[in-house]
């Protein structure tokens, strides 16, 4: 059974930086597409970043140029580096794994996700 364990996140002032990590078990980071979602209270989660098997990255417009998705295959870990954080980035963030090598350009859609991380809160205050 695929397990994804997240770490990182927390509270940061507007303009600050945070990094989220997602360590996978029973799953090989780099074999399939993975991504990050975020969810605001009372709203559906939205895909914000994805990386496919070839290492191509895709971002939602809301985070393009500020967030970077990456992976360390040796550490079996997915990362989300977040720069220039804004109060509207405040949300619960989830990593996600698929069994698809390639995806349509753009952030992951929920229907492709085979496993989720437990979520981590990111709060950005002005």
pLDDT digits (tens, 9 = 90+) for 62-75: 999 999 999 999 99
CA 102 – CA 98 distance, rounded (Å):
10
Alpha carbon 57 to its chain centroid, in Å, reads 11
What pLDDT is recorded for position 115? 98
Residue ranges of the chain with pLDDT lower than 50?
none
Listed residue (22, 28, 5, 13) closest to 84, CA to CA: 13
Give, rounded to a whole angstrom, the gap between the first and last alpha carbons of the chain: 40
What pLDDT is recorded for position 102? 86
CA 8 – CA 78 distance, rounded (Å):
12
> Could you tell me if 112 and 48 are in contact, meaning their C-beta atoms sit under 8 angstroms apart?
no
DSSP 29: B
């Amino acid at each position: 059974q695929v397990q994804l364990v997240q770490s990182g996140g927390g509270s940061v002032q507007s303009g600050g930086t945070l990094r989220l990590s997602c360590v996978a078990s029973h799953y090989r980071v780099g074999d399939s597409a993975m991504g990050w979602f975020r969810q605001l209270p009372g709203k559906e989660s939205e895909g914000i970043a994805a990386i496919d098997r070839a290492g191509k990255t895709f971002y939602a417009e809301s985070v393009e140029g500020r967030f970077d998705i990456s992976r360390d295959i040796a550490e079996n870990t997915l990362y989300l580096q977040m720069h220039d954080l804004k109060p509207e980035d405040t949300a619960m963030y989830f990593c996600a794994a698929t069994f698809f090598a390639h995806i349509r350009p753009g952030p992951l859609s929920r229907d492709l996700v085979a496993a989720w991380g437990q979520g981590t809160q990111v709060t950005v205050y002005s």
